[in-house]
Amino acid sequence: MTDPTRPDSARADVDAPVPEDGPGKAAAYDTVEEAVRAQLSKALGGARGVVEAAIPTIGFTVSWIVTKELKLSLGIGAGLAVLLLVIRLAQRSTVQFVLNSIFGIAIAALFALRSGKAEDAFLPGILYNAGYAAAMLLSIVIRWPLVGFIIGSVTGDPTAWHRDRETVRLCSRLTWLLLIPCLIRVAVQYPLYLAGHVAWLGAAKVALGWPLQVAALAAMVWLLARGRTPLDRTPPPAPET
The DSSP-derived string for 67-81 is H--HHHHHHHHHHHH
Contacts of 55 (CB under 8 A, 6+ apart): 80, 81, 84
pLDDT for res 6 = 44
pLDDT for res 18 = 41
Show the low-confidence residues of the chain (pLDDT under 50).
Answer: 4-26
pLDDT for res 144 = 95
pLDDT for res 181 = 92
d(CA 79, CA 92): 20
pLDDT for res 40 = 63
pLDDT for res 19 = 43
Side-chain-side CA neighbours of 109 within 13 Å: the count stands at 18
pLDDT for res 130 = 97
pLDDT for res 15 = 41
Q: Nearest 5 degrees, angle CA 178-CA 112-CA 137?
A: 20
d(CA 169, CA 163): 11
Helix, strand, coil distribution of the chain in percent, nearest 5: 75, 0, 25
Contacts of 143 (CB under 8 A, 6+ apart): 162, 168, 172
d(CA 67, CA 199): 12
pLDDT tens digits for range 134-174: 999 999 999 999 988 877 776 677 888 898 888 899 889 98
CA proximity to 99, closest of 56, 41, 129: 56
